[in-house]
Each structure stands twice: as structure tokens, then as C-alpha cells.
Amino acid sequence: MKKKEVFAEVTGKFQFNADSPLDYPTVGDWVYARYLDQDSFAVINEILPRKTILKRKTSGKKIEFQLIAVNIETAFIIQALDFNYNLRRLERYLAMINESNIRPIVLLSKNDLLSSMEVKEKISEIHAVMPDIQVVAFSNITSSGLVELEKLLVPGETFCLLGSSGVGKTSLLNTLLAEERFEVKAVREKDGRGRHTTAYRQLIILKNGAMLIDTPGMRELGNFGLESGIDNTFEEITELSKRCRFSNCSHLQDEGCAVLAALKDGRISQERYQNYIKMNKESTYYEMSYLEKRRKNKQFGKFIKSVKKHLKKR
């Protein structure tokens, strides 16, 4: 049967058993579905077990998980070598990816804007705090670095593109497809910010069989339930914390804190330390609020069931 896209919806039973947005299908999912009306429509009965789940906090004040994509082997974090380049934001992306046990690779776009020496300096900055991460600099204009990037796209594996608006995700996708399939919009000159070219998440199958998920630009990356992801991202701070005098050390002003000692003698930069503390506080706060919300929802559900049971008896 020829591959084609069709509209689909989950069954009523599926909706009834779903406890949160995480239980619904998302891009990257493999599902059991039944086709209807001469294969013009489908009903989803079940989601196959997911290998990986990439999620974040929903934007705004609402405290809930938002699925980005699932079943991803490798996540490409794209930062442009202009106004967009930011190590602290990169750390936030890495915490989210590391929490999901997904392989991260950093892509530095627009390397035609800098000299080769300046590009090497940017890569060295990243390796100074993340020595093991793979970094590839490329340009959609000059095609520099694209051969190295294409070699990373293994047939049969699923990849995703993450990054702010205007970093060149859509341009890269068009380059990999060797056609202008998706619209590209210009960035603002004053700050390099782009408008949202990609309005929704979509999975594209490349000619070599690799699957690539494109995502809308993210301007807010709230940390939520990322304890292990933060520990893996700030590995040197995590190792230092094991040497603190107290096991529950907050690394703020505690006596005998190995992290503060490393900060004082310059082994950890002030910026990286502040980001570590900030992200931990965010993650803890949102997780506690989320668990409290779930507890209240569960209590409300029990109340509704008891009322229904009482009405039946009457």
C-alpha cells in the first residue's frame, strides 16, 4: 500500500484511560490503528511502548508536562553563531535531553559569519564545560560542515531538531531534502530572532531512510522533573557535591561545601554555578507543584466516584 497521511483520532476507551497529556499519541509514536472509509481515516487503539520520551514544562504558568517527541535516538541542539549563541541556554537543552537518555549533538549553524579561528574558539568554549559532547559547525549558505552532518544521519534511526526560532532548522531541513519544501522566513536584523516558520512538530523521512523530527522554535525552557538530567549536564558539580561535608548540602552557604570551594578557586565559573542552582530550584519547585496538583485531581476523582455510587443507591 502506498504511504499517505490520514487524519486519526483515539478511541473513547483510550481517552477514558488517559491520565495526562503524556498518555496521548505524539510525533514519533508507533501505534496500532484501524483504517476506515477506504483508508481515508484512522482510529488509534493503542500506543506501542516508547523507547525514549522528550518532554518539557508547558509554556506559561500552567504546570504540566508537554510532549515534544518520542522514540528519538539523537537530538540535535542547534545554536546559530550570531546573537543566538548562548552556553547557559545550551545547558538547559542538555538537561532536558539527558533526562530522557537521548544522545545530544550540538550543531552550530551560520559558521560563515565567523572566521575559522572564531568558530574553533566557540567549540572550545563548549568543550570546556562539556568535554564529551560532539559539536559540528555548518553553514546552509556555503555548505561547510554539511558532509560531516549528513554522516550522522543513520538510516532507520530517529533524530530531532531543537533550537530557537531563526537558528536555521528549516533551512537545514530543506538542504538535507535537496528541495525548498518548507517555507523559510527572515530573522530580525537587530537581534537575530526569527519568526516561527515551523508551527507544529512533524516527522520527515529522508532519502537515506533516516527519520528527522522538526520542532517549533522554543523561547521558554522551564525545567521540570529533571534531577538526573541536571546531574548529568553539570557532571563536574555533581561529582564535587559528593565531597561536601553534609549529604543534604544546598551549595549556597553551607559549611564544608566542596562546590563553593571549587567556585572560589575558579574550577567552576560563576555563570555555570548560577545556572546549576537556578535550574535545580526551578525543577524542584515545579515538580512539587505538579505532584500536589495530581494529588488534588486524584482526590477530586474519588469524590466524583463516591457521589455517583451514592446516587445509584438512591
The CATH number assigned to the domain holding 292 equals: 1.10.40.50
| d(C-alpha 268, C-alpha 261), whole Å | 9
Bridge-based pairing of strands 41-47 and 31-36 is antiparallel
Examine residue 106 and state whether it is found in any structural domain, yes or no: yes
Are 199 and 252 in a shared domain? no
- Reported as type and span, the H/E element at residue 16 is helix 12-17
Closest residue by Cα to residue 112 from 149, 78, 77, 137:
137
Among 214, 249, 268, identify where a domain stops: 214
Give the per-residue pLDDT at 1.
Answer: 45
Examine residue 88 and state whether it is found in any structural domain, yes or no: yes
Q: Which range has the top average pLDDT, 21-25, 62-66, 181-185?
A: 21-25
**What is the average pLDDT value for the chain, to the nearest integer?**
84
146 grid coordinates: 554539511
For 230-248, the pLDDT digits (tens) are: 999 999 999 999 999 998 8
| d(C-alpha 78, C-alpha 307), whole Å | 52
Examine residue 2 and state whether it is found in any structural domain, yes or no: no
What is this structure's pTM? 0.82
pLDDT reading at 38 higher than 80: yes
Are 176 and 251 in a shared domain? no
| d(C-alpha 270, C-alpha 264), whole Å | 9
For 192-219, the pLDDT digits (tens) are: 444 445 557 889 999 999 999 988 766 6
Among 214, 249, 272, identify where a domain stops: 214
Examine residue 167 and state whether it is found in any structural domain, yes or no: yes
Among 152, 185, 214, identify where a domain stops: 214
Examine residue 1 and state whether it is found in any structural domain, yes or no: no
* Number of separate domains in the chain: 3
For 93-127, the pLDDT digits (tens) are: 999 999 999 999 999 999 999 999 999 999 999 99
Are 104 and 208 in a shared domain? yes
Are 57 and 93 in a shared domain? yes
CB 169 within 8 Å of CB 157: no
Q: 92-107 b/e with 16+ CB inside 10 Å = b?
A: bbbbbbbbbebbbbbb
Are 19 and 150 in a shared domain? no
Examine residue 202 and state whether it is found in any structural domain, yes or no: yes
Are 243 and 296 in a shared domain? yes
Instruction: Compute the average pLDDT of residues 77-106.
Output: 93
Are 146 and 16 in a shared domain? no
Q: What proportion of the chain, given as a percentage, has pLDDT over 70?
A: 81
Examine residue 222 and state whether it is found in any structural domain, yes or no: no
Are 125 and 183 in a shared domain? yes
* 135 DSSP β-pair partners: 106
Instruction: Compute the average pLDDT of residues 56-84.
Output: 84
For 243-277, the pLDDT digits (tens) are: 999 988 999 988 899 999 999 999 999 999 999 99
Residue span of the structural domain in which 149 resides: 53-214
The type of residue at 121 is E
pLDDT reading at 305 higher than 60: no
Examine residue 219 and state whether it is found in any structural domain, yes or no: no
Half-sphere exposure of 213 (CA within 13 A, CB side): 24
| d(C-alpha 198, C-alpha 184), whole Å | 9
Are 22 and 165 in a shared domain? no
Are 21 and 96 in a shared domain? no
Are 178 and 92 in a shared domain? yes
Top pLDDT among 305 and 77 is at 77
Are 305 and 239 in a shared domain? yes
- Reported as type and span, the H/E element at residue 46 is strand 41-47
